[in-house]
Structure 1
Amino acid sequence: MRLAYQYRLRLTTQQKTTIDRWLELCRRQYNYRLAERFNWYEKNRCDVNACPLVCHLPELKDRPDFYSQKRDLVNSKKLFPEYKELPSHTLQDVIARVEKAFDRWLSGDSNGRRNGKPRFKGQGRFRSIAFPDPVKPEHIDGRFIQLPKIGKLKMILHRPMPDGFKVKTAAIIKKVDGYYITLSLQDLSVPVLTPDVPTLENTIGIDMGLKAFLVDDSGKDEPIPQHYRKAEKRLKRLQRSLSRKKKGSSRRKKAIKRVSKAHLKVSNQRKDFHYKTAKKLLSQGKHVAHEKLNIKGIARGRLAKSTHDAGWGQFLQILSIKAERAGLMAIAVNPSGTSQNCSGCGTKVPKTLKDRLHACPKCELTIDRDHNAAINIKHLAVGHSVNKAQVTSDAVAGVTEKPTSYTDA
Structure 2
Amino acid sequence: PLFIGSILLFSLAIVPGLPTVPFLLLASFLCLMGYWVYREGKIQEALEDSKKDGGRPHAGGEGQPSAPPPASPEDVMRLLTVDPMEAEIGYAVIPLVDPAQGGDMLDRIGTIRKQMAMELGLIVPPIRIRDNIQIKPTEYILRVRGAEAGRGELLPDHYLAMNTGSAEEEMVGIPTTEPAFGLPAVWIAPEMREKAESLGYTVVDAPSVFATHLSEVIKRFGADLITRQEVQKLTDMVKEGAPAVVDEMLSVLSLGEIQKVLQNLVKEQIPIRDLVSIFESLADNGKISRSVDFLTERVRESLTRLITLKVQDEEGIVTVAALSPNWESKIKAAIEGDLLQGWQFSLEPKEVQQLIGAVSRAAEEMTMQGHQPVLLVHPDVRLVVRRILEGSLPSLIVLSYNEISQSAQLKSVGMVE
TM range (shorter): under 0.3
- Bigger RCO of structures 1 and 2 (CA < 8 A, at least 6 apart): 1
TM-score, normalised via structure 2 length: 0.23
Q: Between Structure 1 and Structure 2, which shows a larger proportion of helix residues?
A: 2
